[in-house]
Chain A
């Protein structure tokens, strides 16, 4: 026990010294603050998968442009990105921690979901790496061939989506509400399970990001019937089909969340100079020809936006009237 006490004393003393040293350094050379330091990049999913891959790719170039010693990927998975975002929220705002998570958490904040301990408006937004329009793809096994068929469907059309509470499920429910679609959304098709199910002729269609279906469509298993935000040849746009002001608002939310792909932020209260430095490095990284080449080879689309632009998109998406929020809540929780 005595040994333990002395250990603890030593440890406390040691950490005090480390803290003092860190403070001293801070004031001296803010100009090259990041030089030789370790930066943590929190990823709200486990290793492997899109968020992890983007972070590891961008992290390499951030390290170069910050002149940091290391950019260490910290996987903090759980509860559909909430644990990761919570962790980033309460991380020390010293500029040495940033994080990436799904912009679908905007739905969570709008509807006051349990477990969210953050306010997305307050994060110091660094930028976003991707973002592409959503679209509905239908299987060729299905009787529904076009958007007109879907709008006129007598029987509920079976749609697949990821688990309840996920961003893709919320998108789907919102779209169904906005366009008054007669659909039966079956949740729990993760990853490519939905495509398998369409190939087996079970579910009829899925809503998702355009590029994720490219393999499926190239192989001749299905085609797009609706695009949200983007423009696909010969395919109607959801905004044109939305009849009321309310409906257009809902479609706009889906669209702006789709735009906010692979977002990165620093904890609130991070010093301005450091945020600016991080933003500059992020911008330089995403404009680096080597990164663009790598992204092209690995099939990861890059559609960047930076700093205040991303912040504005987030703030706008969260700025909804109580009526719209109520509508969203009803749409998303409709199944319960």
Chain B
């Protein structure tokens, strides 16, 4: 397929950057006259540079062989993305004091096959620092988590 021949990670990154500039420039057109000056002053040249970069990446892609390891996501990368997303969802839902120890434990024990001892100690230490140190010691309220907030009214 033709699209396959020019589609790789580099092209996608350049395209993403171009799209950010293009959409932000278009949005700026909707601002009042005084407010849109600066965004357009930066956004339009950014869009043009993005086009140049995209074209050059596409040209490169045509010349390169398809088995360049750099150009697509490896399974290790995918796994890290998933873990970071899990951390994000966990903390967002259940807050730091509850979710972080669980996440630290599961990353070590389930994700990385570390020993149970290491995983439990790490989780306990995380909880001690977040809850004991921040919330109790310094009285800095940490994010309680959206689901926890909802459960507790």
Contacts and interface: CB of A to CB of B under 8 A. Distances in A.
A336 B32 contact: yes
A116 interface: no
B153 A74 contact: no
A17 interface: no
Contacts, number: 21
Nearest to A336: B32
Say what secondary structure dominates the interface of chain B: helix
Contacts of A11: 94, 98
Nearest to A47: B140
A15 B152 contact: yes
Nearest to A74: B141
21 contacts: A3-B106, A3-B110, A4-B102, A4-B106, A7-B102, A11-B94, A11-B98, A12-B151, A15-B148, A15-B151, A15-B152, A19-B152, A40-B141, A70-B139, A72-B139, A72-B141, A73-B139, A74-B141, A92-B152, A92-B153, A336-B32
A74 B106 CA distance: 31
- Interface size band for A: 10 to 19
A40 B142 CA distance: 13
Nearest to A22: B152
Nearest to A94: B153
Contacts of B151: 12, 15
Interface residues of B, number: 12
A74 B138 CA distance: 12
Interface in B97-153: 98, 102, 106, 110, 139, 141, 148, 151-153
A222 to B, nearest CB: 31
A90 to B, nearest CB: 10
A287 B139 CA distance: 26
Contacts of B141: 40, 72, 74
Interface string B46-62: 00000000000000000
Interface in B60-111: 94, 98, 102, 106, 110
A40 B110 CA distance: 37
A3 B139 CA distance: 31
Nearest to A71: B139
Nearest to A72: B139
Interface string A15-42: 1000100000000000000000000100
Nearest to B98: A11
A192 to B, nearest CB: 26
B32 to A, nearest CB: 6
A73 B139 CA distance: 8
Contacts of B106: 3-4
Nearest to A335: B34
Contacts of A73: 139
Contacts of A19: 152
A72 B106 CA distance: 32
A74 B94 CA distance: 19
Interface string A145-184: 0000000000000000000000000000000000000000
Contacts of B98: 11
A44 to B, nearest CB: 15
A40 B149 CA distance: 15
Nearest to A90: B149
Contacts of B139: 70, 72-73
A142 B98 CA distance: 60
Most chain A CB inside 10 Å of its own CB: which residue of B102, B141, B148:
B141
Interface string A30-74: 000000000010000000000000000000000000000010111
A11 B90 CA distance: 14
A330 B106 CA distance: 57
Contacts of A3: 106, 110
B139 to A, nearest CB: 5
